[in-house]
Structure 1
Amino acid sequence: MSEPSQTPSVASELSSIPQSAPPLQQQQSPIAALTSSILGQNSPPTPISSTTNTRSSSVLDTLFSNPVFAGGFGLASLGAAVSLGRRGFVATTSLLRRQLLVNVEISKADPSYPWVLAWLSKPRDPGGFVASRLTRMRNLAIHTSTSSIAGPMRHDASRVTHADFRVQPGYGRYLVRHKPGVYIAVNREKASTAVTTTGEPHETLTLTLLYKHREMLADVFTEAHALAQSFNQGRTVVYTARNMSWQVLGKPKIKRPLGSVILDEGVKESIVADVKEFISAQQWYTERGVPYRRGYLLYGPPGTGKTSFIQALAGELDYSVAMVNLSERGVTDDLLAQLLTNLPERSILLLEDVDAAMINRRQRDPDGYSGATVTASGLLNALDGLAAGEDRIAFLTTNHIDQLDPALIRPGRVDMMLRIGEATRYQAAQMWDRYYGDIDTDRSGRERFLRRLDELGLFGGNSQDPSVPKRHTSTAAIQGLFQFNKGDMEGAINMAEGLIPRTFEPEAPSPGGAIKSPA
């Protein structure tokens, strides 16, 4: 009866123990405790304190409640977003341009630069209303060319001058309608500091069009070249050496008829036939491994028509003339080699005064100039050295063939050598017919003129009077006589004595050091 009375007391004792008290843990040995700490086992969870979060939240609330900080943070975020957006836009645009567009940049130094400018200037179908507004040019430039109109002179002894004004695209960006559905973006720029070899500002012309229309570029350059040729129709373009490149010398010249140059009988015909045969034999040279180039040497006294014949030959062949004067200042071996390996297409190379490279020209003049520095070896290497160009027709001229090195006139460098000498009876007769043939129908005036030249010994002596000195005159002198007496053959006959070559004696200097002028 005593056991039931003990049960409530035990229960009450157990209930008196606090519920929050941690359970009793079994005591571990020191080794086991160390192992558990290393392995991370049985480690009690670390409670996370909310004090730090509370402080951070309060600081942020304080900062964002400040309008200055909130506004600055917003602007910084907006700037960063705009910068990232701009970079993304630029990268995307650049990628699209590379994938969808094609650009062609043309330098002002390139021969096609004026061609494309002229092509851009020609009238075009504007298309519809929108297309006409998009392709409207607002920046324009003017290219002016002048020429004299043939006809009678005015009272002031001048002729009427015709001016041709050609409108060209100015500097800036434009849109050009090439064909229906094909547009070309044009950007013409002028460099602020860079200049060309002529001292002019360097310019570039950039054409941009869709990649799928890239084949149209060939059409553009073909049309531009054809348009440039039409401007030069009936004219001969003359190039000259300027610094390290070829530059057009002045305006293209009207083609000189081959018949206007009178050489001795058979000379002109033989040169023309040889040049034409060479032009048609390129395949023959290629198949046999022979360098495709031809050299001609024309020598003789001044005023006999050497340069005039080359100009007329270029007009006959529809070629241009690339001219280098070896006695000019600044012409060096390096420059000559550079020029001869980069000749303009369809051009005749003209090397004047080749004897200038064969003599010592390093003697200083009173101004301290030591002369051009073209040497004999430099000239020879430029003509047929390892770096010599091909597809070339070269004419060399000299007044002193005796001063030329035999190595220069050997075959391979000079393939044909002809003397263009003083006027002969044949040349004088041909020139008379050209100037007075329409009024001297029975040729009686020509016979009297030739007889008069023979009496003066201008054909190398008088066949009737051996006492007459042997003299010669040039075709240039005869031409000057005929030009002075236009349509007046009697005046030309009476003034024939003026064809006798004159000699000038240097006059003694006056006491003051000046040269006395004739009374």
Structure 2
Amino acid sequence: MSSEDITIDRTAVAEIAPTNVEDSSMKAKATSLYDEIVKKNPFFAAGGGLMLLGSALAIARSAIKSGSAFAYRQLLIDLEIPSKDKSYLWFLQWVGKYPQRSSRQLSVETSFHQHDNGSVTTNFQFVPGPGRHLIKYKGAYMLIRRERSGKMVDMTNGSPFETVTLTTLYRDRHLFKDLLLEAKELATKQNEGKTVIYTSWGPEWRPFGQPKSKRLLNSVILDEGIAKTILNDVRDFMGNGNWYFDRGIPYRRGYLLHGPPGSGKTSFIQALAGHLDYNICILNLAEPNLTDDRLNHLMNHIPERSILLLEDVDAAFNKREQTKEKGFNSSGVTFSGLLNSLDGVTSSEETITFMTTNHPEKLDPAILRPGRIDFKQYIGNATLYQMEKMFMKFYPNEHEKCKEFIDYCKTVDKSKTISTAQLQGIFVMNKNDTNGAISMIKEVYRN
């Protein structure tokens, strides 16, 4: 190695050495400063450093939470469906039959129907219960949260309030409307050709059981001309809304069908509703939890295209004698509350109300006033006209037997009567035996 090389190496070492010395000096100063600030400082020794660290973590956590919420608002969208909304039941029915869903928590909805012949049909439908569920609808994933409030309870029936919340990407928000329309169409399709029977459920109307098949109008045989007269009057009312409005007359009409039990009053109303493509809202005035306010609310929120039916109205208010002092019936409804609901300032418009009674003489004259009851019709026991029509309906082409049956009925004492319900029961028991039916009818008259 040359002397020149040695000189270069020494120079390099000389240049490096000061740097190492400076680094060491800086490290020593940093260590000394840390000791002065942290180790010897009583603030940090008392846990202030941990407090600062915790504060920093809390700020970071809050920032992350705010960022997540911001991202949620920007990317996702929620739709809340409360249980009091009409679409709530539509949605549960729809999602219960939707194939592409992931549910681990289920609720059962049981439908029970007893047929006229005594047989019973029971159906079970499983729908998503309270909890979280996932579906895929038209290529988009939706999270379903069904929540039941443990604190908010409907005081009228004790049932908790529920909500269903749908969550999906903001870009897929238009699918909410498509889904609800599909649920509505499914409900409408299931009720097609059927009559929905509504009953009061707290402050609202809800379907009672499964929709019933529409009853043909000619399946209920009333005395000659009665059915046609009522039908024409209802149609005239339905087609003259502007006539009522132009003259400032409340657009509502009340009907009273009165007569003995089993004469077909309720059956005719059901058949009439099916013929008009209407549903039926049945209101029991003797319901224990019914009050004037709730009665008024229900009668002002009747589902569209529905007939309001008040059965056995005489049993609820018998000339205001239920409690002699206050005029209450067994529920909290007063007689004046019923009258105000029928034609008071807050009474509903565009309504068709049917009342039935077996004892019209027990009704207070105030309820019979026009504006509350505009059309009264007596529907009695079976007449010769009804007997002949019913016989030929059950036994077509049996004209000779029908003549024999009618000739006998003409000889019976007029004080002895038979209801159409009894007559129908005899014909049902003797489906293919006209002689048996005639014999049973003679036995009924003899007794």
TM-score category of the 2 structures, normalised to the smaller one:
0.7 to 0.9
Cross-structure match for 1:192: 150
Pick from 410, 416, 421 the counterpart of residue 471 of structure 1: 416
User: Counterpart of 1:47?
Assistant: none
Give runs of aligned pairs for residues 174-323 of structure 1, distance below 5 A.
Answer: 174-180=133-139, 182-196=140-154, 197-211=156-170, 213-323=172-282
Superposed displacement of residue 85, structure 1:
2.5
Map 1:101-120 → 2, pairs under 5 A: 101-120=76-95
The answer to whether the aligner puts 1:453 opposite 2:428 as a matched pair is: no
**Cα distance in structure 1, aligned partners of 2:285 and 2:408:** 40
RMSD: 3.4
* Structure 2 counterpart of 1:496, one-letter code: I
Partner of 1:488: 433
Partner deviation per Cα, 1:463-488 (whole Å, 9 max, x = no partner) = xxxxxxx2322111211222222221
Q: Residue 372 of structure 1 corresponds to which residue in structure 2? A: 331
CA distance in 2, matches of 1:179, 1:391: 40
Using a 3 Å threshold, how does the CA distance of structure 1 residues 58 and 168 change in structure 2: closer, same or farther? closer
- Asked whether the equivalents of residues 299 and 418 of structure 1 are also in contact (C-alpha less than 8 Å), the reply is yes
TM-score, with structure 2 as normaliser: 0.80
1:203 Cα offset (Å): 2.2
Q: What is the rounded CA distance, in whole Å, between the counterparts of 1:324 and 1:476 in structure 2?
A: 23
Q: Does structure 2 conserve the Cα–Cα contact (< 8 Å) formed by 1:187 and 1:206?
A: yes
**What is the Cα deviation at residue 104 of structure 1?**
2.7
- Give, as a single letter, the amino acid of the residue that structure 2 aligns with 1:220: L
Q: Which amino acid aligns with 2:372?
A: R
* Aligned CA distance change for structure 1 residues 247 and 94 (closer, same or farther; 3 Å): same
**Distance of 1:75 and 1:207 partners within structure 2:** 43
Task: Point out where structure 1 has 5 or more consecutive residues left out of the alignment.
Answer: 1-55, 127-134, 462-469, 503-519
Equivalent runs, 1:383-394 vs 2, <5 Å: 383-394=342-353
Q: Is the 8 A contact 1:478 1:499 kept in 2?
A: no
Q: Note closer, same or farther for the CA distance 1:289–1:234 as it changes in structure 2 (3 Å cut).
A: same
1:273-318 per-position Cα deviation (integer Å, ceiling 9, x unaligned): 3323433444554455443322211111221111111111222223
| Aligned match for 2:303, one of 341, 344, 349 | 344
Query: What is the 5 A alignment of 1:119-198?
Result: 119-123=94-98, 136-145=102-111, 164-180=123-139, 182-196=140-154, 197-198=156-157
Q: Distance in 2 between matches of 1:330 and 1:114?
A: 24
Q: What is the CA distance between 1:184 and its match in structure 2?
A: 3.2
Distance in 2 (CA, whole Å) between partners of 1:178 and 1:341 is: 37
Change in 2 beyond 3 A, CA 1:217/1:390: farther
The match for 1:19 is none
Structure 1 position 84 matched with structure 2 position 59: yes
* Cα deviation, residue 322, structure 1: 0.9
Name the aligned partner's letter for residue 120 of structure 1.
Answer: V
User: Within 2, Cα distance between the matches of 1:291 and 1:211?
Assistant: 47
Check 1:420–1:396 CA distance in 2 against 1; reply closer, same or farther (3 A cut).
same
| Distance in 2 between residues matched to 1:239 and 1:248, nearest whole Å | 4
Secondary structure of the 2:235 match is: helix
Q: Which structure has more RCO (C-alpha within 8 Å, separation ≥ 6)? A: 2
Cα distance between partner residues in 1 of 2:381 and 2:287: 26
Once residues 417 and 145 of structure 1 are traced to their aligned partners in structure 2, the CA distance between those partners, rounded to angstroms, is 36
CA drift at 1:253: 2.5
C-alpha distance 61-122 of structure 1, shift in aligned 2 (>3 A): closer
Within 2, Cα distance between the matches of 1:278 and 1:399?
Answer: 26
Q: Kindly provide the amino acid, as one letter, of the partner of residue 95 in structure 2.
A: L
CA distance in 2, matches of 1:214, 1:272: 47
Give the number of the structure whose residues are more often helix, by fraction.
Answer: 2
How far 1:144 moved relative to its partner?
Answer: 4.5
- Give TM-score, length-normalised by structure 1: 0.70
Whose radius of gyration is greater, 1 or 2? 1
Question: For residues 249 and 498 of structure 1, what CA distance do their matches in structure 2 show?
Answer: 39
Shift of residue 420 of structure 1?
0.9
The gaps in structure 2 that reach 5 residues or longer are 1-32
The verdict on how the C-alpha distance between 1:104 and 1:60 changes in structure 2, with shifts beyond 3 A counting, is: same
Q: Which amino acid aligns with 1:444?
A: E
